[in-house]
Structure 1
Amino acid sequence: MVVLATKLYVDGDARDRALDSLRSLVDNEIGELDVEYDLGVRHDDFPSVTIEGEDAVVARNVLREQWGEIVPDLAPGETSVGTLESWDDEGFVLDAGQPVRIPAGELGLGPGTPAQVRERFGLVQHLPLEFVYGGDDEPSRLSDDERDRLYEWTRGNGRLNVNSATRAEVRATLNRAGHAQDYVTIERLGLLEQSVICTEDTDPPGLLASVGGYLPSELRCVVP
C-alpha cells in the first residue's frame, strides 16, 4: 500500500469529483502495468492505494515519485513530504501523517514572519511541501529542492495558487470567467492544489479579484 502525500479534504459532490479525478490520475500512471489496485481515503484524508500484481513494486515506486508518500515512521535526516496544515509566529506545521514543525529559521525563504513568507510565495493551506525531518535532536527544515522550487515561482510570470479544487475545476472556472487567454497552463501541485501560471501581461491580483467569487477556495498570488 502507498499512502499519497496529498489530501482529500472536501465534502459532498466535490469529494466525489476529487476521487474520480484521483482515480483517473492513478490509472494514467499505473493503468498499463500488470497490477490491480484499490483506492481508499484514510481517516486523516490522505488517499491510500493498495496494489497487487506482477508489477506492484514498480507501480508503488511510480506513485511515490509522482505524489510523495506518507510513511508510518519518519527517520531523522530523510526527505519526506507533508501538507501545510497551519502556521504561526514560530513557523509552519506540516501534516506528514504526524505533525512536523518547521521553525521559522529553517524555512530558508528569506526575511519576514511565517505568515509573510506564506503570503509572498503564495502558499495555500494543504499544499504539499518537501522537508528534511530533524527528529528529536535537530529541527526539521524545508528541503533545498523545495526552497529552489518556491524561489522559482517568484521569477518569470506571476501565479495564482488555489486549493480545494481539481485542475479541471480551476480550468473550467477560468474559461467560464473569460480568462482563457490570461494563463499559460495550470500546474498541479497536489490533488486539490493548483498553480495558475499567468501570461506575461496578466496581473495575478487582478485575476484573483475576477475569479475569487467563483471558487470556494483559498487563493494566493505570487507576484514576480
Structure 2
Amino acid sequence: MVVLATKLYVEGDARERSLDSLRSLVDNELGELDVEFELGVRHDDFPSVTIEGEDATVARNVLREEFGEIVPDLESGETYAGTLESWDEDGIVLDAGQDKGVRISTDELGLGQGSAIQIRERYGLVQHMPLRFVYGGDGDPSRLAEEEQDRLYDWTRGDGRLNVNSATRAEVRATLNRAGHAQDYVTVERIGLLEQSVICTEDTDPPGLLASVGEYLPAELRCVVP
C-alpha cells in the first residue's frame, strides 16, 4: 500500500468527484503495468492505494515518484513530502501523517526576507498544497527541500500564477473557461489532487484574474506576481 502525499479534504459531491479524479490519475500512471489497485481514504484525509499484481513493486514506485508518499516514520536528514497545514509569523507546519506536524521555521524556508506569512503570500502557497522537506530530528531543524525552493523561485520568474485549492484541475479549467478567461492562461498545472496552479499568459494580471473568478471558486486563491 502507498499513502499519497496529497489530501482529499472536500465533502459531499465534491469528494466523489475528487475520488473519481484521483482514480483516473492513478489509472493513467499505472495503465501500462500489470496491476490492479483499490483506493481508500485514511481518517486524516490522505488517500491510500492498495496494489496487487505482477508489477506491484514498480507501480508503488511510480506513485511515490508522482505524488510523494506519507510514511509512518521519519528519519533525520531524509527528504519527505507533507501538506501545508498552518502558518504564523515564525514558520509553517506541514502535515506529514504524524501525530504532530512538522514545523519549519521562517529561516529554514530559504525563500528570502520576511515572515512566513509574507513568504506564503509572495509565493502563493495555498493551504494543503504538497511541499517537500528535509526532516531534522535529533535536535536539528527541519527545512524546506532545495528542489522545493527552486520550484517556488521559478514561479516568481514567470508570467504570473493564480494558485487554487479545494478544486480538481478539470474544475478549475472549466471555471476559467466559463468565466471567459480561456485566452488568459497557458495551462493549469496540478500541484496536488485539489491544489492547482493557473499559469497566466504574459498579458494577464494575476490579481485581476483572481478578482474575476474568485466568486465562482469556493476555494483559497493566492497570486504569484513576478
Instruction: Tell me the amino acid that sits aligned with residue 178 of structure 1.
Output: G
Per the alignment, residue 22 of structure 1 pairs with 22
Report the Cα offset of residue 89 of structure 1: 1.8
1:94 maps to which residue?
Answer: 94
The residue number in structure 2 matching 1:180 is: 182
Runs ≥4 residues deviating over 2 A:
none
Q: Say whether 1:161 aligns with 2:163.
A: yes
Partner of 1:202: 204
Deviations 1:195-219 (A, max 9, x none): 0000000000000000000000000
CA distance in 2, matches of 1:141, 1:59: 29
Q: 1:83: how far off?
A: 0.2
Q: Which residue of 2 aligns with 1:70?
A: 70
Q: Deviations over 1:83-124 (max 9, x none)?
A: 000001220000000210001110100000100000000000
**One-letter identity of the residue aligned with 1:78:** E
How far is the alpha carbon of 1:173 from its aligned partner? 0.1
Q: Deviations over 1:28-55 (max 9, x none)?
A: 0002211111100000000000001100
Secondary structure of 1:37's aligned partner = strand
Gaps of 5+ in 1: none
Aligned-pair distance for 1:153? Answer: 0.2
Aligned to 1:10: 10
Give the Cα–Cα distance (whole angstroms) in 2 for the partners of residues 121 and 89 of structure 1: 15
CA distance in 2, matches of 1:53, 1:204: 46
Report the TM-score, using the length of structure 2 for normalisation.
0.98
Q: Which runs of 5+ in 2 are unaligned?
A: none
CA displacement 1:158-190 (0-9 Å, x = unmatched): 000000000000000000000000000000000
The letter for the 2-side match of 1:144 is: E
2:217 maps to what in 1? 215
- 1:82 aligned counterpart, secondary structure: strand
Letter in 1 for 2:197: S
Identity %: 82
C-alpha displacement of 1:136? 3.0
Match of 1:143 in 2: 145
Letter in 1 for 2:21: S
TM-score (normalizing by structure 1): 0.99
User: RMSD of the alignment, in Å?
Assistant: 0.5
| Count of matched residue positions in the alignment of Structure 1 and Structure 2 | 224
By how many angstroms is 1:156 displaced?
Answer: 1.7
- Name the CA distance, whole Å, in 1 between partners of 2:80 and 2:70: 8
